[in-house]
Amino acid sequence: MKIDILTLFPEMFQGVLGSSILKRAQEKEVVKINLINFRDFSTSKHKTVDDYPYGGGNGMVLKPEPIFAAVESITDHEKARIIMLTPQGKTFNQRIAEELKEEKHLIFLCGHYEGFDERIREHLVTDELSIGDYVLTGGELATMVVMDSVVRLLPGVLGNEGSVETDSFSTGLLEYPQYTRPEVFREWKVPEILLSGHHQKIEEWRRKESFKRTLERRPDLIDINKLDEKDRALIKE
């Protein structure tokens, strides 16, 4: 997968791209991530990228020219998903991450402080995403969130550190409780069933705990009417 990130603050990405899973994914060449400062594409004397809003009002608006020029400088941009990060976008979730992981090329567009000229939305961008109902100072943190959750799904990225299949949300449920050694910590014991070696019983216990946790914390994720007989029996227990 190729990812291009258009931002006025490329240095914000150093930590995230240079550490842990995202670093390794790049080293393994599962993903190629490229930072583009779209200020470099401004043709004005002072490298201006924003201007006052037509009609008046507070704040500045990002001009279309540098952003169009930056995107058009990217090879094969016509085939890419061009994603604008904005609180006005569709709320990002695991289903969208699964959809984006199938793409060969993503371009992220990060605004900062200000809004985008509407023509960028209308004639350049293919998707608008929000990471939640709150306002950040810019799209950079939101891009990092979306990119991280997409890249970890790419084949060969996680190795043994995590299983994508049992992640919260990928099963439609929150993840079940996990334990590791010691068997007794202070006076708190690991549930007996997990030490039993009885794989089928352990699977059942985990599925039941997942349901219990999801019903308690995120009942909105469960549609009781869509459950099969086995799961319906599980949550009645």
The binding site for ligand ADE (CB under 6 A) comprises 85-87, 130-132, 134-136, 138-139, 142
Q: What Å distances lie between residue 140 and 79, 105, 109, 215, 223, CA to CA? A: 23, 18, 9, 33, 34
Q: Which of 117, 140, 152, 209 is catalytic?
A: 152
Q: How far is the CB of 9 from ligand ADE (least distance, A)?
A: 13
Select which of 65, 98, 103, 114 is catalytic. 114
Is residue 76 part of an annotated ligand binding site? no
In the complex with ligand ADE, which residue's Cβ is closer, 71 or 157? Answer: 71
191 is catalytic: no
Task: For residue 135, say whether it is annotated as part of any ligand binding site.
Answer: yes
Q: Which residues, 6 or more positions from 140, have their beta carbon under 8 angstroms from its beta carbon?
A: 7, 9, 12, 13, 110, 112
136 labeled part of a ligand binding site? yes
Q: Can 119 be counted among the known catalytic residues?
A: no
CB of 60 to ligand ADE, least distance (A): 15
Active-site position among 10, 53, 64, 87: 87
Smallest separation, CB 89 to ligand ADE (Å) = 6
Nearer to ligand ADE, 14 or 88 (CB): 88
Of all residues in the shown chain, the one whose CB is closest to ligand ADE is 142
Would residue 152 show up in a list of annotated catalytic residues for this protein? yes
Is 146 labelled as part of a ligand binding site?
A: no
Rg (CA), the chain: 22
121 catalytic per annotation: no
Select 86 or 214, whichever has its Cβ closest to ligand ADE.
86
Give me the residues paired with residue 2 across strands: 32, 105
Neighbours of 129 (CB within 10 A): 23
CA distances from 107 to 10, 55, 149, 197 (A): 14, 30, 15, 47
- Reported as type and span, the H/E element at residue 128 is strand 127-130
Q: How far apart are CA 33 and CA 176, in angstroms?
A: 33
- Active-site hit among 103, 128, 167, 231: 167
The reply to whether 172 sits in an annotated binding site is no
Which H helix or E strand runs over 15? helix 14-17
Q: Compute the 3-state secondary structure of the chain and give helix, strand, coil in percent, each to the nearest 5.
A: 40, 20, 40
Measured from the CB atom, the residue of 100 and 131 that comes closer to ligand ADE is 131
Q: Is 132 annotated as a binding residue?
A: yes
Nearer to ligand ADE, 44 or 88 (CB): 88
Catalytic residue set: 87, 114, 152, 167
Residues comprising the binding site for S-adenosyl-L-methionine?
111, 131-136
